[in-house]
Amino acid sequence: MKGRESMKQTKLTVAARGRNMRCLVLKPSHAGKPLPGILWIHGGGYALGMAGMVHMSCGKLLARRYGAVLVSPAYRLSWKAPYPAALQDCYAALQYMWDYAEDMGIDRTRIIVGGESAGGGLAAAVCLLARDRGQIHIAMQIPLYPMLDCRDTESSRDNHGRAWNTKRNHWGWARYLGTQFGPGMVSKYASPALETDCRGLPPCYTFVSEGEPFYRETVDYVNRLKAAGVAAAVDVWPGNVHAFDMLCPWLKRSRAAKRKLCNAYAVRICSGTERSTES
């Protein structure tokens, strides 16, 4: 189904912890057999952003190029409700995709969870929660330059990168964690970098810039997955622009990063029969 599928957009309401959460759903206009289902979670430091950001995301690129049903949840932002609200909302969207897979045209054996930045952090947390609950199988995780570690790392400490930096990172974590913010108080589901046992997590692909705050935690996450026997890979790109693929899509490295992501997705989800050659 490789190509540039025309996509139709609909809205979906999901019950999430006593509230109705709006989700955007994108689906190829001429879908036939069940397709992969992609839960794509927007970024914004857990405090900003909206479901509509999916239109500039790699999630939409994958859904359009290879054919997939994509769900983008309007999860509660931290200034409205701190952790665990966002995780509860995103997991509710995943649960809906699993429970109503047939109605949505989703193949349950090919459910993918991904997102950018804080959305990547939530994607990793959703995968961790799904593994521990043992009810939903996730075929692949795509946490792009994820916001995983509430602690300072060698790359998030004293970072003055563009788009995101140390000051903004501290601000984002303090608001997301709320009363949990502090040494020894944080749940692994809030900050997935705290999980030391990565066995049984889904295969992973990601990329990150070498000079941005989340470089170290992204590489460390992939290394922990590999050490646990999980297929995982990360591509590191030059520069210090966080979310460079979205903010600077015209750059050669942005196009190259998207090509490599498409190839990794095709190998895992499309049995390697379709490879991306487009920029």
pLDDT tens string, the chain, 279 residues long: the values are: 455 668 899 999 999 887 899 999 999 987 778 999 999 999 999 999 999 999 999 999 999 999 999 999 999 999 999 999 999 999 999 999 999 999 999 999 999 999 999 999 999 999 999 999 999 999 999 999 999 999 999 999 999 988 999 999 999 999 999 987 766 789 999 999 999 999 999 999 999 999 999 999 999 999 999 999 999 999 999 999 999 999 999 999 999 999 999 999 999 998 644 444 343
Query: In Å, how far are 8, 45, 121, 151 from 63, measured between CA atoms?
Result: 11, 24, 21, 34
Neighbours of 239 (CB within 10 A): 16
The reported pLDDT for the residue numbered 64 is 95
Instruction: Return the pLDDT at 275.
Output: 43
What pTM did the predictor assign? 0.95
Tally Cβ neighbours within 10 Å of residue 278: 12
| Buried b / exposed e along 30-69 (16+ C-beta atoms within 10 A) | ebeebbbbbbbbbbbbbbebebebbebbbbbbbbbbbbbb
Amino acid code (one letter) for 268: R
Domains of the chain (ranges; CATH) run 7-269 (3.40.50.1820)
Start-to-end CA span in the chain (Å): 17
The confidence score (pLDDT) of residue 4 equals 64
Q: How far is 61 from 193, CA to CA, in rounded Å? A: 27
CA distance 49 to 53: 7
Rounded-to-integer distance, Cα 159 and Cα 25, Å: 36
pLDDT of res. 274: 43
**Residue 191 has what pLDDT?**
97
The alpha carbon dihedral of 278, 232, 137, 78 has a sign of negative
